[in-house]
Amino acid sequence: MTGEDAIEFMMAGAKCVSIGSANLVNPNASIEVIDGIENFMKKHNIEDVNSIIDTVEMN
């Protein structure tokens, strides 16, 4: 539902994130998720979104 949710899934290894059902609740969800990912990347000086993927170890 949020950019933070998408980042967490990506850190856990997701290479893509589905936003479909979030659009039923919030028609602007896709844009808000994209903006959230961009804001996270700017805040943490990340230039390549691929560098986020699989950065958290799962035990």
pLDDT digits (tens, 9 = 90+) for 12-46: 999 999 998 999 999 999 999 999 999 999 999 99
Q: Cβ neighbours of residue 56 under 8 Å, at least 6 residues apart?
A: 11, 12
Task: Answer yes or no: are the C-beta atoms of 52 and 43 closer than 8 Å.
Answer: no
Give residue 5's pLDDT band: very low, low, confident or very high (50, 70, 90).
very high
> Would the pLDDT of 47 be above 90?
yes
How many other CB atoms are found less than 10 A from the CB of residue 10? 22
Q: What DSSP state is assigned to residue 56?
A: S
Q: How far apart are CA 4 and CA 24, in angstroms?
A: 19
Predicted confidence (pLDDT) at residue 58 exceeds the cutoff of 80: no
Q: What's the rounded mean pLDDT across residues 39-54? A: 96
Rounded to whole angstroms, how far apart are CA atoms 12 and 26? Answer: 25
Identify residue 4 by its one-letter amino acid code.
E
